[in-house]
Amino acid sequence: MSVEVEKAKKEDNVLVATLAAMKQAVELTDLSPEVYEHLKTPMRFVEVAVPVEMEDGSTKVFTGYRCQHNNVFGPYKGGLRYHPDVTTDSIKALSMWMTLKCSLVGVPFGGGKGAIACDSQTLTVKERERMTRSYVRALGSILGPETDIPAPDVFTDAQVMAWIADEYSSNMRGPSFGVVTGKPLAVGGCVGRNEATGRGVFFVAREAAQAFKIPFEKARIAIQGFGNVGSNAAKLFADSGCSIVAVSDVSGGIYNENGLDVCKLIEHVEETGFVKDFPESQDITNQELIAMDCDILVPAALENQITGSNAADVKAKIVVEGANGPTTPDADQILKDKDVLVVPDILANSGGVTVSYFEWVQNNYGFRWDLATVNRRLEEKMSDAFKTVYNYYCEKCVDSDMRTGAYMYSIKRLAEAMKYRGWINGSLERNN
């Protein structure tokens, strides 16, 4: 085991873990070290001041970021989040995951990520709009439909994307709505985009259950996080006959051994903002949810939720990562030893970027697909990607885990593209 992997197991730093996983994948596939040299550092990382006029007339300056990791397959692509706890390392890691994700599912984008360090929940609508437009003015020269395409992420939504599209179009002196995806339908959005990540999680969970010979229509599901991804996945699971036995959010968790009524739970969350105090349920902690007796556990919240301290408590047979980076490297090893299949984030939550690609294509060609077409094509993409990666893992990674297999497969595709574009000199193979 490499020194980098050992270091990652001792830390919760997602960048350290990502770099270690990429280096290990390059070594296991016998690729030239030059491949890792190209992937370990983003092509561009920008930090900018984002001045905002507040409602009281004062000016507050926030810090904005945009990381552009690799564009060998096409324009940089990645979400924009508004969160007080963003770090440069987490942004870099998230952009790297997007590169790997797009490669894995065959979407012609590269990896990018953006953020503004702020507590957006304390801002008024006007302050959020001014902040968004200020961010675009600061970074507009490196954004564009053929350059870098943001999308919604933590505490950003379709309205934020509409503001970005409008500000960018004003700067370009003409409509250019393809600069972002995840927009409202009225300005070039795509039907099904809002539900796409959760729907993708559902599709790969179904494939994983079939691979593990778990009767899917009888599966017991626990979901950590009940935002966009978790709630949409929960509804699809329930509609397929699965039993959602536990759910949690920032307010805590709820449990019902006979299954929660997901439609009523969604209504409850819309009314109260949280899952807590939902009728016909009992309160549980987040750690109790992770240790829940279930078939499939879906961590759909934030990074570093399943760790070396709680992975041994996981009773699920399958973990499907709806969030980015919810499982730490030391937890991966524990789960592997327990024969728990972890469907990694770069595969499990790639439904969002896949439908973002559909939206971008429709913007470029000036037409729209109906919802049935979008969902059918998403299902085809996700199912094919799972089968390809799972088969590759079973064939090549018998001593490792599915995450390693996904990284290996994705990086092999990236290496081939970099070789053809002339970024890599000599052979792709090690020691040649």
What is the Cα–Cα distance from 23 to 32, expressed in whole angstroms?
11
Tokens representing residue 142 in the block: 């490196």
Annotated catalytic, 126? no
The answer to whether 156 and 162 are in contact (CB under 8 A) is no
Residue of 101, 113, 336, 412 marked catalytic: 113
CA-based R_g, the chain, Å: 21
| Strands, E assignment, 83-212 | 110-117, 148-152
- Which residues lie below 8 Å from residue 412, measured CB to CB, with a gap of 6+? 29, 31
Cβ–Cβ under 8 Å, residues 138 and 153: no
Place of tokens 């497969």: 409
Q: Which amino acid is at 365?
A: Y
The string of DSSP letters for 258-303 reads: T---HHHHHHHHHHHSSSTT-TT-EEE-HHHHHT---SEEEE-S-S
Pair 237, 221: CB distance under 8 Å: yes
Q: Compute the CA torsion angle 313, 315, 321, 327 (nearest 10 deg).
A: 20
Catalytic residues: 113
